[in-house]
Chains A and B, each alone.
Chain A
Amino acid sequence: MTKSLGNIRRTFAPWNDPASRPYIAFENVTKRFGDFTAVDDLTLHVYEREFFSLLGASGCGKTTLLRMLAGFEEPTAGDILLEGRSLKGVPPHRRPVNMMFQSYALFPHMTVEQNIAFGLRQEGMARGAVDQRVADMLKLVKLGEFGKRKPHQLSGGQRQRVALARAIAKRPKLLILDEPLGALDKKLREETQFELMDLQQELGLTFMIVTHDQEEAMTMSDRIAVMDSGRILQIGTPAEIYEAPSSRFVADFVGSVNMLEGTVETVSGEMTEISGKDGLAIRVTGESGAGAGDKVWLAIRPEKIRVSRNRPENGANAAEGEVWDVGYLGDMTLFNVRLDTGAIVKASVMNSRREVEDPIGHEDRIWVSFAPDAGILLTR
C-alpha cells in the first residue's frame, strides 16, 4: 500500500495529469497601484471543475487577483487566459465569469427575484424562461417563499444565498467568490461550506474563492494557493499544505505548529540528525535537501506530539518538561509544555474517551516525544 499525505483520498486531480489543460491561467501577472505591488509576477493554473482557494492575510493580493479575473482591474503586466483565450481588454460584462461579492452587493431597490433575474434580463432571456430560472434558483438555495422580499428584510444567511443564486443564475462556467462566508457566524459558516461544495459538484462549476480563513479553505478546496505580499508561496491540496508545507510561513499560517530551530549535524541516508538551538538532539527522516552545518527548522504539528508521564521506550526525540498551560476544548485538550531547556512545545491530545485515568494537569512533570517522521524539515 502506498502512503499518501493526510487522512483523505482524492480522485479528482487534473493538475497531476500532463494532458489536461488549465481552464484559467494567470501567466506572469503583475499588478501595481502606484508604488505598491499588489500582485508580483504570479503564475497560476486552475482546472475545470476545480474548487480552488486563494488563502492569505488581508493585503496579500488575493482579492486583486480575483478582481483582475472578473475584469475590474487590468494587469500591469502579464496575461490572464480563460480556456486559452486572453482576457486582455475584455470588459467585465463580456466575461463569462460571475462574481459573488464579499458585501453581497445585492441591489437594495430590487426584490430577491429581481436581483436574481438581473443578469438574465441583461442577456435578453425571454420572460418565461427568466421566471423559470429564478424559481429554480430560489429552490436551489432554499429561499422559495422569499422571492418577493427586499434584501433588507432578509437575515445575513439568506442574503448570502441570494447573492449566490444571483451569481450562478447565468450558469457561468467560472464563479468567483470573495470571502463568501466571511459575514456569517461560525455555525452557519460550517453548514454553508458543505452546501457550497455540494452545489459546485451538482452544477459542475469551477469555483475560485478568496478567503483568509484557513479552516474554510481546508474544508472546501481541491487545491489551495497560500499567498503573501503578492506572491504564491505554495500551491497544493489541503493535505499537502498542512502536512508538507514548503516554508515556515506556510506552516505557521495554516494551522498550529511547533517550530524547532537547529543545525544539521549529520545526514546518513534517510536519517538526519539535528542539534536543536536549545540543546535538544533531534533525529528525523525525510528529504529536506539540507546538508551538514545548515540551519534548519523542524515544523511539527501539536497533534503529532505525544505526551506521557514516563520516558518513552525508544529514547529518540524525547524531552522532559512541565505542563505550563492546559486548554480543554471538548474534542481535544491542548497542552503547552515548558521543556527543561526553556522551549515551549504545544501538544494536543484527542479526547477519544469520556473518562480518563490519571489525567495530566497543570504543573505536572511529563515527557513529550515524537516519531522521526512526525515533522517536516524546512530550510527557509
Chain B
Amino acid sequence: MKAVARRLVILIPYLWLLVFFLLPFLIVFRISLSEPAIAMPPYLPVFDLEEGWRAIFDKLSQLTWGNFEFLLEDSLYINAYLSSLRIALLATFLTLLVGFPLAYGMARAPQGLRPVLLMLVILPFWTSFLIRVYAWIGILKPEGLLNQFLLALGLIDRPLAILNTETAIFIGIVYSYLPFMVLPIYANLEKLDYSLIEAALDLGCTAFGAFWKVTAQLALPGVLAGCLLVFIPAMGEFVIPDLLGGTRTLMIGKTLWTEFFNNRDWPVAAAVATLLLLVLVVPIVLFQNAQARAQRAAQ
C-alpha cells in the first residue's frame, strides 16, 4: 500500500506535465499539420468523434507537412528565427554582464543586509510585467525621462532615438529578466567558501586570477542556469519587441502573433510554435544530458 502511495506521489509531476504540457503540445502539433480554413475552428480537417473512428482515420491522410515546408521556404520565418536567436543570445550575454556583478555584490554583502538586497531584486515582480514594460516607453521615448535628463545635463544636443530600436529591446530584456539571472548566480556565490579565494591568493594567484580560476568556475552552474532562464523566454519574447522594438525588428514571437491574430492562419502559427519549441528544447536536452554525464563521471 505504501509503495503504491509513493508511486502515486511520483506520478503527480508526470501527470502535471502530461496534462499541461504534452497534451496542449500535441494539439498544437496536430493543428500545425492542418490546412487553414475560413471556418470555426479555422483549420481542416476537424476530427469529430460523432462521425465515428472510421471517419477520423480517413481524415488522418489529409494531414500535411506543408506548413513546415512553407516555413523553411519563406525567408521571413528563417530570418525571424535567426534574428530572435541573435537578439536572445546578445540579451542573455548583456544580462549576465549586469547580473553577475550584482549577484557577486549581494553575496559579499554583510550577512544582515542580504535578505534586504534579495527583496529588492524580487520587488519589481510585485508590479505587472506589462506595466513595467510600458513604463520603459515613458523613459525611452524622444521626449521621455532619459532624454530630458541627458538634455538637462547638456550631454546631448537633441533627443536620442532609443525607442523602436533594438537597443530598446535589449534594455527591456535585461531589465525584465535580470532577477532570473541574479538569483541562481547569487545562490551559487553565496555558498562559496571565501577561504577558497584566500587559498588561491596564498598559492600565488593575483586577485583577478583567483576570481577567474575559483569564483567564476564555481559559479558556472548558476551562470548556466541563469542564462537558460533568460535565453528561453527572451527567444520567444513578444511583449518587449512589440512595445519597445517598433515595427522594424523581426522576432519570432511577433511573427507568431501576426500569423495567429492578423492572418488568422492557425496552422502556420502552430508550425512556428512547434519549430520554436524544437529550437529551444533540443539544445537544452543535449545540454542537460552532457551535464548529467559529467556529474556521473565525477562520482
Task: Enumerate chain A interface residues (CB-CB to B < 8 A).
Answer: 70-72, 91-93, 97-99, 101-103, 105-109, 118-119, 122-123, 150, 153, 166, 170
Is the CB–CB distance between A103 and B193 below 8 Å? yes
In the complex, B232 has a CB within 8 A of chain A: no
CB proximity of A71 to chain B, nearest CB, Å? 8
B286 at interface by CB-CB < 8 Å: no
Known contacts A92-B198, A105-B199, A109-B218; decide if A150 and B193 are in contact (CB<8 Å).
no
Q: Is the CB of B205 within 8 A of A105?
A: no
Query: 8 A-B pairs, CB-CB below 8 angstroms?
Result: A72-B198, A98-B202, A98-B203, A99-B202, A101-B198, A105-B196, A119-B204, A122-B205
CB neighbours (8 Å) of A70 from chain B are 198, 202
The 3 closest A-B pairs by CB, nearest first: A122-B204, A119-B203, A105-B199
A103-B193, A122-B209 known; A92-B218 Cβ under 8 A:
no
Docked pose: A282 CA to B195 CA in angstroms: 53
Give the CA-CA distance A103 to B198 in the complex, in Å.
12
Interface centre among B201, B205, B218 (most CB of A within 10 A): B201
Of A70, A102, A105, the most chain B CB neighbours within 10 A belong to A105
What residues of B have a CB within 8 angstroms of the CB of A123 in the complex? 204
**Distance of B263 from chain A, by nearest CB (Å):** 51
Q: For the complex, give the distance between the alpha carbons of A117 and B35 in Å.
A: 65
Q: Out of A91, A107, A109, A150, name the residue touching B199 (CB < 8 Å).
A: A107
* Residues of A close to B201: CB separation below 8 A: 71-72, 91-93
Q: Is the CB of A105 within 8 A of B299?
A: no
On chain A, the residues within 8 Å of B203 by CB distance are 93, 98, 118-119, 122, 166, 170
> Which B residues are in CB contact (< 8 Å) with A119?
203-204
Residues of B within 8 A of A118 (CB): 200, 203, 213
Contact across chains for A150 and B298 when beta carbons are under 8 A apart: yes
A217–B166 alpha-carbon span in the complex (Å): 67
Known: A107-B214, A109-B217. A170 touches B199 (CB 8 A): no
CB <8 Å contact, B206 and A108 = no
Cα of A351 to Cα of B201 in the assembled complex, Å: 51
Contact mask B140-161 → A, CB, 8 Å, 1/0? 0000000000000000000000
Q: Which of B207-254 contact A (CB under 8 A)?
A: 209, 213-214, 217-218
Q: Is the CB of A153 within 8 A of B204?
A: no
Most chain A beta-carbon contacts within 10 A, residue among B198, B203, B218: B203
The answer for the CA separation of A118 and B200 in the assembled complex, in Å, is 8
A153 near B218 (CB under 8 angstroms)?
A: no
Q: Which residue of A lies closest to B195 (CB)?
A: A105
B186-202 contacts to A (CB < 8 Å): 193, 195-196, 198-202
List the A side residues contacting B298 at CB < 8 Å. 150
- By beta carbon, the residue of chain B nearest A91 is B201
A98 to B214, CA, bound (A): 18
Give the residues in chain A near B202, CB-CB below 8 Å: 70-71, 92-93, 97-99
Whole-angstrom distance from the CB of B224 to the nearest CB of chain A?
14
Q: How far is the CA of A158 from the CA of B200 in the complex (A)?
A: 20
Chain B residues lying within 8 Å of A109, measured Cβ to Cβ, are 217-218
Bound CA–CA A123/B199 (angstroms): 15
> Nearest Cβ in chain B — how far from A28, in angstroms?
25
Bound together, the chains give a CA A97 to CA B202 distance in angstroms of 8
Q: Are A153 and B299 in contact (CB under 8 A)?
A: yes
A118 to B199, CA, bound (A): 10
> In chain B, what residue has the closest Cβ to A176?
B202
List 16 additional A-B contacts (Cβ < 8 Å) besides A105-B199, A107-B196, A122-B203. A71-B201, A93-B202, A93-B205, A97-B202, A101-B199, A103-B195, A107-B199, A108-B218, A109-B217, A118-B200, A118-B203, A119-B203, A119-B204, A122-B205, A150-B298, A170-B203
Q: Chain A residues with Cβ under 8 A from B206's Cβ?
A: 93
Q: Which residues of A contact B214 (CB under 8 A)?
A: 107
How long is the Cα–Cα vector from A379 to B165 in the complex, in angstroms?
A: 84
Report how far A105 CA is from B194 CA in the complex, Å.
9
- Residue of A92, A150, A166 ringed by the most chain B CB atoms within 10 A: A92
B114 to chain A, nearest CB (A): 20
- Contact residues in B for A72 (Cβ distance below 8 Å): 198, 201
Which residues of the partner chain B approach A102 to less than 8 Å between Cβ atoms? Answer: 195
Q: Which of B102-136 contact A (CB under 8 A)?
A: none
Give A98 to B200 CA distance when docked, in angstroms.
10
Point out the residues of chain A lying under 8 angstroms from B213, CB to CB.
118
Q: Chain A residues with Cβ under 8 A from B196's Cβ?
A: 105, 107-108
Residue in B closest to A163 when the chains form the complex, CB atoms: B199
Closest B residue by C-beta to A108: B218
Nearest chain A CB to B138's CB is how many angstroms away?
45
A379 CB to nearest chain B CB (Å) = 42
| Contact between A105 and B204, CB atoms less than 8 A apart | no
What separation, in Å, do the CA atoms of A98 and B196 have in the docked complex? 13
> Is B217 a contact partner of A105 (Cβ separation < 8 A)?
no
Min distance, Cβ B220 to any Cβ of chain A, angstroms: 8
B194 to chain A, nearest CB (A): 9
Q: Shortest Cβ distance from A223 into chain B, in angstroms?
A: 24
Residues of B contacting A122 with CB < 8 Å? 203-205, 209
Complex-state Cα separation, A150 to B218, whole angstroms: 14
Contacts of B200 in A (CB 8 A): 107, 118
A101 and B204 form a contact (CB under 8 A): no
Alpha-carbon distance between A99 and B213 when the two chains are bound, in angstroms: 19
Residues from chain B with a CB closer than 8 A to the CB of A170 are 203-204
Residue ID in chain A nearest B210 by CB atoms: A93
Return the CB mask of B159-198 against A: 1 if under 8 Å, else 0.
0000000000000000000000000000000000101101
Give, as a whole number of angstroms, the nearest-CB distance from A182 to chain B. Answer: 14
| Nearest-CB residue, chain B, relative to A150 | B298
For B205, the chain A residues whose CB sits under 8 A away are: 93, 122
Q: How far is the CA of A170 from the CA of B202 in the complex (A)?
A: 11
CB pair A93 B204 closer than 8 Å: yes
Smallest Cβ-Cβ distance to B214: which chain A residue: A107
